[in-house]
Structure 1
Amino acid sequence: MQHLTPSENGAKAHSSRDSTGAVQMRIKSANSPHDRHSQSKSLILSDNMRITEPISRHRRNHSQHNLTLAEIICPLEQRIIKEGFLQKAKIADEGKKLRKNWTASWIVLTDRKIEFFKDSKQSAAAGLKPGYKSESMDLCGAHIEWTREKSSKKNVFQITTASGNEFLFQSDIDFDILEWFHAIKNAIDKLPREMSGLSRKKEFKLPRSSSSELLNKLEVESKEGKSENRRSLIFRLNYSISDTTDRNRVKSRLKKFINRRPSLKTLQEKGLIKDQVFGSCLHSVCKHDGSTVPQFVMKCIKAVEKRGLDVDGIYRVSGNLATIQKLRFVVNQEEKLNLDDSQWEDIHVVTGALKMFFRELPEPLFPYCFFEQFVEAIKIEDNNDRVNSMKQLVQQLPRPNYDTMKILFCHLKKIASKGNANLMSPQSLGIVFGPTLLRPEKETGAMAVYMVYQNQIVELILSEYNTIFGSEED
């Protein structure tokens, strides 16, 4: 073993001290076994200080750098539940209303969200492109419901997200739209409720300062000599003090205005408010027209029979909604209506307005109290018994309902007789008018079954029109 001189030994120790730094300073005595043991032990990381490996949260179409807070807290499996084509329209973006524009989209439903693609090929290609971001909708905290007010189309439901986005979805296939509705609703129900607020935008509001706080600020500002800020604080102080008085004054004025407003009957007597045709009950419209069949219904039927019996897809093809709303406004304002005018030359506008009239009746043409009876009648196996039961129910209807139904179905029978030209059979007319003329008062989970019965009831009355209405004098 080589021996070192004292000077070399000191130089060696000095060099070692410079290289090891703070670790060398903690060694009290190299000859102490206890200290050596403690020194070596300090180089081992304890269990609670071990560095954990990052958790892999790879998801389709997302990189790890784009994880949201909701995904970290609630890492749900993004498996595809359902996919297919639906009509989609976005009508609100974070609470801001948008113009409705229907487009056919390939919808992909997963456990957490809905993604929108142009077609299935784009959806498949998106999964192979790292970092690709498609248009999507977060279902956490979303709300789904059927709607009839947002569109004239049938089978429309709306989804409102927690961030204020609103989407409409529609399909003409009844069973398909019902499957989509239940699949999305089940996906929303499975998501945790407490996560619903994560996707919402945080709203920060400046709290109004109390009078004491404003006075303290005023004193500080006055000492610093900032006259502009001082004037601002004085204004805020005066506003805070008089705010309660102003609100009470506004409430008092509103209360007086509401108490002085004229009644609805007074406005109707003065002619300022007129009875509406669309949205009013059938009995009121007939009473106003002085007949048992609304005049608007008669005008539409005459126009269709004059120039629409041979039109392909009559009553099935939708007319321009803006023009239909314009026609509705003219009718409600009791302006002279001439359906031969050039602005109503599209016969689908007339048929669309007629369907809208029956759809917006507070109580359908087949009254609610008769719905279950008609459903039970259509279930009868023997055809003769089924037709006789249907005839008895029709004859029990109120006079405006019976007469309007007789006129309407006589017209639809003429449409069906031209089926070779317009391609509208009794079955097709039953699909179009079934949910419009006949519906339950409260929607239940058996809507798909009811739709079948609704269509069959209308189809049967069309096919057996002479038997059901033939005994009555025309």
Structure 2
Amino acid sequence: MRVKSPNSPHERLSQSKSMVIIDPAELTKQINRHRRNHSQHYGSENRISKDILVSQTKEGILYKTKIADKGKKLRKNWAPAYVVLSDQTLEFYKDAKDLTASVKSGTKSECVDLCGALIEWTSERSSRKNVFQITTLSGNEILLQSDVDITIKEWFHAIRSAIDSLEGWHPNPSLSFSVRKSASSELLHHVADSKEKKSELRKSGVFKLNYSASDTSDRNRVKTRLKKFISRRPSLKTLQEKGIIKDQVFGCHLATLCKRENTTIPHFVSTCIEAVEKRGLNVDGLYRVSGNLSTIQKLRFIVNQEEKLNLDDSQWEDIHVVTGALKMFFRELPEPLFPRRLFEQFVEAIRIQDRDLQLKTMRDLIKQLPLPNRDTMKVLFEHLKKVLISSSTNRMSTQSLGIVFGPTLLRPMNESGSMAVCMVYQSQIVELMIAEFENIFC
């Protein structure tokens, strides 16, 4: 149907039966109907089809990490970002100042094209709360997060609205749809197809990457070589016999270590205690002050390699390195010096008000311990008693030693309870063992 008057845009647009809501400002614009300006008219329609998209402008700070770049997985690295949402893109800046500087200098920021993108809430990709994922057509995957529930929900709905408004539109004019053809079945058919494809992508949750036959062959070759290597690898016993793998001291069960050394007290424990009593009882903050961690790890490596250890060497001159290594040894025991199965019984004993009954209960519990645990415990608390005697110079009271050694020597069977209450009982048990050493072990 030919338009009667070129000055009646309302009449012309009504004939198109467009399903898209038109901006009223566009309705007042003159459109040239002359056949000679057909190409100009077509370009104007493309511009209109772009301008009628729902305007989405939002900016603010969110936590952001990129987990995939064009299908290639990336390591999560959460960082705050100043996010700007426009009609078609999502841009990321360091902060608002970076945004201003980018506008002035004309530099490009990190930008995500929302055309054809998918957005969904996810709890599997991160342990953080309030996380949603944006997946683009190019295979980029971005996670956005905020601790404020209202803020993250507003962002989610704003981005989803922007994505929905871009459905069926493409920045390439040859692929876009003009208002002139909006009434045709071609538009309806294309919208239906795009919705169907988008639904399929949502169901799959991922973009499938196409691999060539050569890639498949390479993967099969690598798998075959790995299977051969694994089948031919030597056993643990063979590696130990050849000396390639040696039995560890740190992290080894106390009974296993004592059996290997044919003793009831680990040699490393006896050596450390001897060194501390020889030259460290009067050092300020003994066992409380931390030694150099790298030096402690070096000492640990030498001990695990069963190399000859001489703590009188100048490299172990700092006594805090020796005490730090001793605490690390007890901390890394798979089963604590006070066995987990008896933890609750030791707690019940420390809560007894009658002193004599309390000491008797402690002695009975000590007798139930395996011999390596009992003998090592006796040597350790005898040593800590000597540390307490020199408290005037090293400033280590019974309470200080209890705080240091409580969590190291005692650990509950179930650690889901109150940590503060547990630490109180741990410290009190160690304090009692030091203060009443003679009555409990002798």
What TM-score do you get using the length of structure 2 for normalisation? 0.57
Tell me if the contact between 1:286 and 1:292 (Cα under 8 Å) persists in the aligned partners.
yes
Partner secondary structure for residue 406 of structure 1:
helix
Structure-1 residue corresponding to 2:353:
381
CA separation in 2, counterparts of 1:196 and 1:303?
A: 62
Residue among 399, 402, 407 paired with 1:427: 399
Distance of aligned partners of 1:330 and 1:132 in 2 relative to their CA distance in 1, 3 Å threshold:
same
Long gaps (5+) in structure 1:
1-20, 27-41, 44-53, 56-63, 72-92, 98-112, 114-129, 134-139, 145-158, 164-186, 199-204, 211-239
Residue among 260, 275, 278 paired with 2:247: 275
Confirm or deny that 1:451 pairs with 2:423.
Answer: yes
Residue among 259, 266, 269 paired with 1:297: 269
Deviations 1:132-161 (A, max 9, x none): 99xxxxxx98648xxxxxxxxxxxxxx9x9
Distance of aligned partners of 1:243 and 1:305 in 2 relative to their CA distance in 1, 3 Å threshold:
same
Distance of aligned partners of 1:132 and 1:440 in 2 relative to their CA distance in 1, 3 Å threshold:
farther
Distance of aligned partners of 1:68 and 1:96 in 2 relative to their CA distance in 1, 3 Å threshold:
closer
Structure-2 residue corresponding to 1:287:
259
Partner secondary structure for residue 67 of structure 1:
strand
Structure-2 residue corresponding to 1:338:
310
Matches within 5 A, 1:303-452: 303-452=275-424
Larger RCO: Structure 1 or Structure 2 (Cα < 8 Å, ≥ 6 residues apart)?
Answer: 2
CA separation in 2, counterparts of 1:463 and 1:438?
A: 17
Matches within 5 A, 1:17-96: 66-68=59-61, 95=76
CA separation in 2, counterparts of 1:431 and 1:267?
A: 41
Confirm or deny that 1:253 pairs with 2:225.
Answer: yes
Structure-2 residue corresponding to 1:219:
none
CA separation in 2, counterparts of 1:195 and 1:255?
A: 51
Deviations 1:218-271 (A, max 9, x none): xxxxxxxxxxxxxxxxxxxxxx11222222222122112111111111211222
CA separation in 1, counterparts of 2:148 and 2:60?
A: 23
CA separation in 2, counterparts of 1:327 and 1:65?
A: 56
Distance of aligned partners of 1:369 and 1:361 in 2 relative to their CA distance in 1, 3 Å threshold:
same
Structure-1 residue corresponding to 2:111:
none
Distance of aligned partners of 1:191 and 1:425 in 2 relative to their CA distance in 1, 3 Å threshold:
farther
CA separation in 1, counterparts of 2:379 and 2:370?
A: 14
How far is 1:207 from its partner?
6.4
Structure-2 residue corresponding to 1:12:
none
Tell me if the contact between 1:142 and 1:196 (Cα under 8 Å) persists in the aligned partners.
no
How far is 1:22 from its partner?
5.3
Instruction: Give 2:252's aligned amino acid.
Output: S
Partner secondary structure for residue 436 of structure 1:
helix
Tell me if the contact between 1:142 and 1:162 (Cα under 8 Å) persists in the aligned partners.
no
How far is 1:389 from its partner?
0.5
Instruction: Give 2:406's aligned amino acid.
Output: G
How far is 1:96 from its partner?
7.2
Distance of aligned partners of 1:132 and 1:316 in 2 relative to their CA distance in 1, 3 Å threshold:
farther
Tell me if the contact between 1:142 and 1:188 (Cα under 8 Å) persists in the aligned partners.
no
Aligned-pair RMSD on alpha carbons? 4.0
Long gaps (5+) in structure 2:
1-5, 12-26, 29-54, 65-73, 81-94, 99-122, 134-145, 158-205
Confirm or deny that 1:265 pairs with 2:270.
Answer: no
Distance of aligned partners of 1:356 and 1:190 in 2 relative to their CA distance in 1, 3 Å threshold:
farther
Tell me if the contact between 1:70 and 1:195 (Cα under 8 Å) persists in the aligned partners.
no
Partner secondary structure for residue 455 of structure 1:
helix
CA separation in 2, counterparts of 1:455 and 1:309?
A: 21
Distance of aligned partners of 1:258 and 1:451 in 2 relative to their CA distance in 1, 3 Å threshold:
same
The share of aligned pairs that are identical, in percent, is: 58
Instruction: Give 2:396's aligned amino acid.
Output: M
CA separation in 2, counterparts of 1:196 and 1:437?
A: 49
How far is 1:374 from its partner?
0.5
Structure-1 residue corresponding to 2:44:
none
Q: Work out the number of aligned pairs and report it.
A: 286
